[in-house]
Amino acid sequence: MSNSFPALDHGGTRKSVRCPINVKTFLIHTSFIGCLWALAGVAYADTEWRIPGYSSYVESNNGTVFCGEEYTSYHESRTGKVCTGGQYTSYHESSTGEVACGGQYTSYHESSTGKVCAGGQYTSYHESSTGEVACGGRYTSYHESSTGKVCFGGLYRP
């Protein structure tokens, strides 16, 4: 694959622009992040997905973050997105009001903007003042909020 691409300069003249990154490496990393997104979507919408067997975090170019199942802390990206590890025992609220609860956390947290998370060891659900909802990892049912948002507990079996 070539790292040069045709482009137009500000005057409309065609010229060749050299890409500052290796295209093959970029495609591999993009594919990896795409797979993580797909897996995150499979879990449940608006829930945190963790990388199995991983003890750190991954941050993409757009600020999206994923934490490992073995990670014992949180990570906040430069854009305010946040993740918590599967071994983390608390929550973290970012500067933008995003929240994430750790896998070992036994409660929920509602941010100043109404976003909510529930810990992996939480046995119930929480509905925020704005209708956001989160179900705990040890919750055996589901909950539909007053605004129609739904969460499923980690132990829910239809």
**pLDDT (0 to 100) of residue 49:** 81
Could you give the CA distance from residue 65 to residue 82 in angstroms, rounded to a whole number?
Answer: 6
Residues 119 and 136 in one domain: yes
**pLDDT (0 to 100) of residue 93:** 97
Residues 39 and 79 in one domain: no
**pLDDT (0 to 100) of residue 152:** 96
Residues 26 and 63 in one domain: no
**pLDDT (0 to 100) of residue 131:** 94
Residues 123 and 51 in one domain: yes
Residue spans of the chain under pLDDT 50: 1-13, 15-21, 23, 26-27, 29-30, 32-46
What total of structural domains would you count in the chain? 2
- Domain that includes residue 5, residue range: 1-43
Assess if residue 157 is contained within a domain: no
Assess if residue 31 is contained within a domain: yes
Residues 97 and 39 in one domain: no
Residues 34 and 92 in one domain: no
Query: Which residue type, as a one-letter code, is found at position 24?
Result: K
Could you give the CA distance from residue 107 to residue 93 in angstroms, rounded to a whole number?
Answer: 14
Assess if residue 141 is contained within a domain: yes
Q: 135, 142 in Cβ contact below 8 A?
A: yes
Assess if residue 122 is contained within a domain: yes
Residues 21 and 33 in one domain: yes
User: Within 10 A of 92 (CB to CB), how many other CB atoms are there?
Assistant: 19
Residues 73 and 13 in one domain: no
Could you give the CA distance from residue 105 to residue 41 in angstroms, rounded to a whole number?
Answer: 22
Q: Which of 81, 92, 97, 84 is nearest to 129 (CA)?
A: 97
Residues 38 and 58 in one domain: no
Assess if residue 60 is contained within a domain: yes
In angstroms, how far apart are the furthest CA atoms of the chain?
Answer: 63
Q: In the block, which residue shows the tokens 């757009």? A: 62
Could you give the CA distance from residue 66 to residue 135 in angstroms, rounded to a whole number?
Answer: 19
**pLDDT (0 to 100) of residue 48:** 66
